[in-house]
């Protein structure tokens, strides 16, 4: 009998791709706001309601739910939503498991590489480093804290937190947004372009979740970022190179991005490097460790 894995954030890019990898070996269920398929179960974070049938014979939860960080300006209301969508959602699952006296084999939670703060520096951060002191690092700290509650309150045997870099996919996210302007010949780096941009191929991030699920000795936080570091400028140039398009537009000035995005601009204009050595030492092998190879795979016609 297949073990049951419950995935939140059903409509997200990673959830969709990950479920395809897992469905041969696991019975995959989704928590979603609107049921569309037999393996969908509805929940509503704002009202605190959830279909408890989702938890029958469950072994694992992969918590991917969370409002898109870069989708809207960070108003006070939006900031609350960014935190609530991650923290309150996890708390709702935790309380439901406690209510039904269910113990998980593993609770695997998405997290963010922004744990270390959005600041351009030459330091390469590891999982031993302290969190930053800006809004995004605050979000991630709260996100991870509620994940740790599953183990501390004896609801899960282990907790794995995947500190995810920018996920590269031609289907969604940053890369999809960059492609059209570069194809039209008007793509350009943001700000100085020297800010580091931790990244990971969609296939590698899904493989990391599968690796965490299958390796019961894994516990704690892991950086999910490619071994090859890149800057915003280098990423833009590499995309143009793979697409065989010229880049001749000047960089987008920082003040323009700040006018358009407000505080959110900091996430576009600043960035640090993070080490993936811990997950590699645990036995994980990246299929796409270098940027050009990753882009060639994603952008092949």
Residue range 109-135: mean pLDDT, rounded:
93
- CA distances (Å), 212 to each of 81, 151, 219, in order? 28, 16, 8
**Residue 1: pLDDT band with limits 50, 70, 90:** confident
For the segment 240-259, the average pLDDT, to the nearest whole number, is: 82
Q: For residue 249, what pLDDT band results from cuts at 50, 70 and 90?
A: confident
Whether residue 243 lies inside any domain: the answer is no
Assigned domain for 47 exists: yes
Does the residue 116 lie in any domain? Answer: yes
Does residue 242 lie in a domain region? no
Q: How far apart are CA 43 and CA 40, in angstroms?
A: 10
The CATH number for 85's domain is 3.40.50.720
Q: What is the number of domains present in the chain? A: 1
pLDDT of residue 301: 58
CB atoms within 10 A of CB 13: 18
Residues 135 and 192: their CA atoms lie apart, in Å, by: 22
Does residue 188 form part of some domain? no
Q: Which domain, by its residues, includes 12? A: 3-167+200-225
Q: What is the rounded distance in angstroms from the CA atom of residue 265 to the CA atom of residue 257?
A: 6
Tell me how far apart the terminal alpha carbons of the chain are, to the nearest angstrom: 40
Distance from C-alpha of 117 to C-alpha of 115, rounded to nearest angstrom: 6
70 is a domain residue: yes
Largest CA distance in the chain: 61
pLDDT confidence tier of residue 9, bands split at 50, 70 and 90: very high
Q: Tens digit of pLDDT for each residue in 178-191?
A: 898 898 888 888 88
Q: What is the DSSP letter of 249?
A: S
Distance (Å) of CA 58 to CA 39, 49, 52, 75, 104 = 13, 18, 11, 37, 7
State the pTM of this model: 0.94
Residue 241 lies in a domain: no
Judged by DSSP in three states, 114 sits in helix
Query: In percent, how much of the chain has pLDDT > 70?
Result: 99
Rounded distance between C-alpha atoms, residue 178 and residue 186, angstroms: 10
Reading the block at residue 197, the tokens are 């941009």
Q: Do residues 175 and 168 make contact, with C-beta atoms less than 8 angstroms apart?
A: yes
Inside any domain, residue 233: no
Quick: pLDDT tens for 39-83: 999 999 999 999 999 999 999 999 999 999 888 899 999 999 999
């Amino acid at each position: 009998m297949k073990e049951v894995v419950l995935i939140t954030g059903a409509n997200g890019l990673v959830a969709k791709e990950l479920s395809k990898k897992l469905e041969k070996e696991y019975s995959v269920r989704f928590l979603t706001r609107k049921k569309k398929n037999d393996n969908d179960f509805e929940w509503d974070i704002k009202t605190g309601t959830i279909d408890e049938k989702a938890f029958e014979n469950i072994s694992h939860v992969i918590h991917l739910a969370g409002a898109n960080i870069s989708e809207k300006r960070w108003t006070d209301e939006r900031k609350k939503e960014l935190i609530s969508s991650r923290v309150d959602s996890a708390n709702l699952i935790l309380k439901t498991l406690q209510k039904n006296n269910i113990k998980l084999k593993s609770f695997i939670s998405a997290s963010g590489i922004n744990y270390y703060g959005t600041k351009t520096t030459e330091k390469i951060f590891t999982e031993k480093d302290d969190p930053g002191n800006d809004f995004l690092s605050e979000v991630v700290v709260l996100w991870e804290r509620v994940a740790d509650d599953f183990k501390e309150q004896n609801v899960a045997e282990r907790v794995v937190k995947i500190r995810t870099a920018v996920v590269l996919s031609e289907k969604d996210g940053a890369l999809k947004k960059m492609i059209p302007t570069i194809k039209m010949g008007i793509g350009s780096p943001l700000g100085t372009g020297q800010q580091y941009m931790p990244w990971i191929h969609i296939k590698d991030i899904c493989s990391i979740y599968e690796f965490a699920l299958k390796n019961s000795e894994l516990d704690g936080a892991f950086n999910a970022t490619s071994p090859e570091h890149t800057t915003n400028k280098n990423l833009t140039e590499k995309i143009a190179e793979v697409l065989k398009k010229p880049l001749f537009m000047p960089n987008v000035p920082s003040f323009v991005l700040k006018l358009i995005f407000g505080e959110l601009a900091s996430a576009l204009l600043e960035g640090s490097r993070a080490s993936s050595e811990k997950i590699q030492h645990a036995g994980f092998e990246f299929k796409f460790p270098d940027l050009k190879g990753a882009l060639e795979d994603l952008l092949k016609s």
